[in-house]
């Protein structure tokens, strides 16, 4: 080309294709360099993701946590390079944990070059707390779309609570991209059923219908009519026959935005590994790098420089800036101006929004929390919990939740005047009804929390198994979710081992970052909630009793505020240092107290430690921990109606644990307690045996 020749400006259509191919080639190069990842889906879905981000979504890259932004969820998280590419190309900016804009890229080109490498902001799957612009952590298939239902419920609730005539403060849309794997996982069916029932019309799932999974064509295991299934759920079902036709994709998304009273499900027919001459419709394109030769051939088919790596050609950044950059900034600017007027007209509501966005609580949020008088007959943990929930829900406007069809038994019903039920025709209700869908309940609670509501979900402790993957994701995302589990041990004895949790405490205690609490009486339940509500970046599990537990006389025993330390000295001998320590949680603390009183009567100095939370206790100072469990007191007995696994960390290798090493049985509670050794006499015998062993050791040393 001579110096006199002029380069023709690219048309909008050419710029669209340039940006789409930039997403594709960044994805290909990142996977190839990492020698790990999934290139096929990003190649196929680049037109879809480009259309959503640059043509449709209201999202300001300079303020990725703007409250009324549209949400984008990549449920098929193995295609994470789609998200890293658009976050980079849109120049989305990073925000820190204090919700401050850092003025630097959320995902830089160097992060993409280091895809799937240590400390890269382009990890193998989208991670919420790690990269700004990621709305939820995804990877386990089905979790993303299920979580998006929680976002859809939150949008309805927020709009009902905060919007006023001429002030649409919350009217955002949620776009969730999913694949065959998401459709196969049961959690997506649970969540889609709820979404259809509730008529969540701000929710749109786009299904990448490519007929490919790791093992090959989906016909080997998956031949149902997905569109018919979603029609049966009550969704508006649309189809786009060509995943490369961005105009038809945009048209379908416009229909979604006009659809009222039901969510939208778009079936997008795609070819995995699009542009790869030899790997279309094969599992290899889905789960493995293409290889150097195939990369060159694929780039040639895109009209791309074959040997260029991580190329962002001239015009790509600018086209995103003139698209999502401009209309996103305009949408946020208009909302900010509207909110400024709203603040003057509705100052209390505006303050609620600002507190909620920072995960803070309103003033006097814990006023009127109950205090329970000493009572040997006591009250069940679930009953005390219900009373606390009803106070908190009135003090904290954005606190809501419900049970997986067990509210009457979990005692989670919010029954104060005006609480109401959340339904399609009453989106301001605070009682959520999840149905018998524990897995999606957990994901929905996560979605509500990601939308900055304080949310809880509840069921029997045994069924925490069904919700465990979502609880784990909550911990991974550092969300302040609350999971309330009742029937924590053998209280429903006649139902037998299928309904008696044994390994569940150990299982949940093993999840990093999860606070698990098992309160010993009604006042410990109150203090557990007082602690949990102040968490901003940790989820919590409360394991509560079905049966009444004695309410301790706190003028005789230590105050329940010790719960905030995870473990505390509940009772001590009146004189001298303890000879033996009895440690327990939940219903077994009263057993330890009974044994303690009898041991004192026999002249044996015992200490009772109530230990509702291992996790909280482990985060106390060494000085405090040793004040509760003095290293020089080796005689120790732990009592818990659960697996003995892990208790050696507190009783030592020579200490004794009265717990469960088998499953339970079907029988009345008292018979089960006798059979498995949960009686004061058994605790006393274990304590004396420990003292005898220690005295025997002392004799041997002398």
pLDDT in tens, 509-539: 999 999 999 999 999 999 999 999 999 999 9
Instruction: Report the candidate in 540, 525, 394 with the shortest Cα–Cα distance to residue 456.
Output: 540
pLDDT given at position 700:
46
Band of the pLDDT at 225, cuts 50, 70, 90? very high
How does residue 376 score in pLDDT terms, banded at 50, 70 and 90?
A: very high
Q: Is the pLDDT of residue 1 over 80?
A: no
pLDDT class for 38, splitting at 50, 70, 90?
Answer: confident
**Is residue 577's pLDDT more than 70?**
yes
- In the chain, CATH 3.40.50.970 sits at 12-332, 375-550
CATH ID of 563-701, from 3.40.47.10, 3.60.20.10, 3.40.50.2020, 3.40.50.920: 3.40.50.920
The CATH code of domain 375-550 reads 3.40.50.970
Structure tokens at 493: 């004895």
Query: Residue 75's pLDDT band (boundaries 50, 70, 90)?
Result: very high
Question: Which CATH superfamily hosts domain 12-332?
Answer: Thiamin diphosphate (ThDP)-binding fold, Pyr/PP domains (3.40.50.970)
The sheet with strand 515-517 has its strands ordered as 431-433, 399-403, 454-460, 482-486, 540-543, 515-517
**Band of pLDDT at residue 277, cut at 50, 70 and 90:** low
**Domain ranges in the chain with CATH number 3.40.50.920:** 563-701
**Residue 250 parent element (H or E):** helix 246-258
Of residues 282 and 223, which shows the higher confidence score? 223
pLDDT of residue 425: 98
Confidence band of 9 (pLDDT split at 50, 70, 90)? confident
pLDDT of the residue at 442: 98
User: Which tens digit of pLDDT belongs to each residue from 186-206?
Assistant: 999 999 999 999 999 999 999
SS3 for 211-246, per residue?
CEECCEEHHHCCCCCHHHHHHHHCCEEEEECCCCCH
d(CA 678, CA 659): 8
pLDDT digits (tens, 9 = 90+) for 397-424: 999 999 999 999 999 999 999 999 999 9
- The SS3 of residue 517 is strand
Task: Tell me which of 185, 288, 438, 527 is the catalytic residue.
Answer: 438
Instruction: Output the pLDDT for position 7.
Output: 61
Share the mean pLDDT of the chain. Answer: 94
Above 60 in pLDDT, residue 568? yes
Instruction: Please give the C-alpha separations between residue 335 and each of 51, 330, 376, in angstroms, as whole numbers.
Output: 23, 9, 57
The pLDDT assigned to 279 comes to: 56
pLDDT for residue 698 is more than 70: no
Q: Please confirm, yes or no, whether 438 is among the known catalytic residues.
A: yes
Q: Has residue 105 got a pLDDT over 50?
A: yes
Q: What is the pLDDT of residue 283?
A: 43
The residues pairing with 608 across neighbouring beta strands, listed in sequence order, are 571, 582
**Model pLDDT for residues 468-505, shown as the tens digit of each residue:** 999 999 999 999 999 999 999 988 888 999 999 999 99
Residue 445 in tokens:
């609670």
pLDDT of residue 492: 80
Give per-residue pLDDT as tens, 360-375.
Answer: 999 999 999 999 999 9
Span 660-696, pLDDT tens digits: 999 999 999 899 989 999 999 999 999 999 999 666 6
Q: What is the pLDDT of residues 618-666, one digit of tens each?
A: 999 999 999 999 999 999 999 999 999 999 999 998 899 999 999 999 9
Burial of 549 (0-12, 13-18, 19+ CB in 10 A): buried
pLDDT at 284 over 50: no
């Amino acid at each position: 080309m001579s110096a006199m020749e002029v380069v023709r400006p690219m048309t909008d259509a050419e710029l669209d294709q340039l940006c789409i191919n930039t997403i594709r080639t960044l994805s290909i190069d990142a996977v190839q360099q990492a020698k790990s990842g999934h290139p096929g889906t990003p190649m196929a879905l680049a037109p879809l993701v480009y259309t959503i981000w640059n043509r449709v979504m209201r999202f300001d890259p300079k303020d990725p946590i703007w409250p009324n932004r549209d949400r984008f969820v990549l449920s098929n998280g193995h295609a994470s390079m789609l998200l890293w590419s658009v976050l980079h190309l849109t120049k989305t900016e990073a925000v820190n944990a204090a919700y401050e804009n850092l003025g630097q890229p959320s995902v830089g080109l160097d992060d993409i070059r280091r895809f799937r490498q240590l400390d890269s902001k382009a990890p193998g799957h989208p991670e919420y707390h790690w990269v700004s612009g990621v709305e939820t952590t995804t990877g386990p298939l089905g979790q993303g779309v299920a979580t998006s239902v929680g976002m859809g419920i939150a949008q309805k609730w927020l709009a009902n609570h905060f919007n006023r005539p001429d002030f649409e403060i919350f009217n955002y849309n949620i776009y969730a991209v999913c694949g065959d794997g998401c459709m196969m996982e049961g959690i997506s069916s649970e969540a889609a059923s709820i979404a259809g029932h509730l008529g969540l019309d701000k929710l749109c799932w786009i299904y990448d219908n490519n007929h490919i999974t790791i093992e090959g064509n989906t016909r080997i295991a998956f031949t149902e009519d997905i569109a018919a299934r979603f029609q049966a759920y009550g969704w508006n079902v649309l189809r786009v026959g060509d995943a490369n036709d961005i105009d038809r994709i945009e048209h379908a998304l416009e229909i979604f935005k006009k659809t009222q009273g039901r969510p939208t499900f778009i079936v997008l027919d795609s070819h995995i590994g699009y542009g790869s001459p030899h790997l279309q419709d094969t599992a290899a394109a889905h789960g493995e790098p293409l290889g150097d030769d195939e990369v060159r051939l694929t780039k040639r088919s895109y009209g791309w420089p074959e040997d260029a790596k991580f190329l962002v050609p001239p015009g790509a950044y600018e086209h995103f800036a003139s698209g999502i950059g401009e209309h996103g900034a305009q949408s946020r600017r208009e909302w900010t101006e509207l909110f400024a007027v709203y603040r003057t007209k509705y100052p209390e509501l505006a303050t609620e929004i600002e507190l909620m966005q920072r995960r803070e609580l309103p003033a006097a949020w814990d006023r009127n929390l109950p205090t329970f008088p000493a009572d040997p007959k006591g009250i069940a943990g679930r009953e005390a919990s219900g009373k606390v929930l009803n106070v908190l829900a009135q003090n904290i406007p954005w606190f809501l939740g419900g049970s997986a069809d067990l509210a009457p038994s979990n005692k989670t019903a919010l029954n104060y005047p005006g609480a109401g039920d959340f339904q399609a025709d009453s989106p301001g209700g605070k009682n959520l009804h999840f149905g018998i869908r524990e897995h999606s309940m957990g994901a929905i609670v996560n979605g509500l929390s990601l939308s900055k509501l304080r949310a809880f979900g509840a069921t029997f402790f045994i069924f925490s198994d069904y919700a465990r993957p979502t609880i784990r994701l909550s911990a991974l995302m550092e969300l302040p979710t609350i999971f309330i589990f009742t029937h924590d041990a053998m209280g429903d004895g006649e139902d037998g081992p299928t309904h008696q949790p044994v390994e569940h405490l150990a299982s949940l205690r093993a999840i990093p970052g999860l606070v698990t609490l098992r309160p010993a009486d009604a006042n410990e339940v109150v203090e557990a909630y007082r602690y949990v509500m102040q968490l901003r970046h940790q989820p919590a599990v409360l394991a509560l009793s079905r049966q009444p537990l004695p309410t301790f006389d706190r003028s005789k025993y230590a105050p329940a505020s010790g719960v905030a330390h995870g473990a505390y000295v509940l009772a001590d001998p009146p004189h001298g240092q303890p000879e033996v320590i009895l440690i327990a949680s939940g219903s077994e603390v009263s057993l330890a107290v009974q044994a303690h009183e009898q041991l004192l009567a026999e002249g044996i100095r015992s200490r009772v430690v109530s230990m509702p939370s291992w996790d909280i206790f482990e985060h106390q100072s060494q000085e405090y921990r040793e004040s509760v469990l003095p290293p020089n007191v080796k005689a120790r007995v732990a009592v818990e109606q659960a697996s003995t696994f892990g208790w050696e960390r507190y009783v030592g290798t020579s200490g004794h644990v009265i717990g469960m090493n088998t499953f339970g049985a079907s029988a009345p509670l008292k018979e089960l307690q006798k059979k498995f050794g949960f009686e004061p006499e058994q605790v006393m015998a274990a304590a004396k045996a420990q003292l005898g062993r220690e005295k025997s050791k002392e004799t041997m040393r002398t």
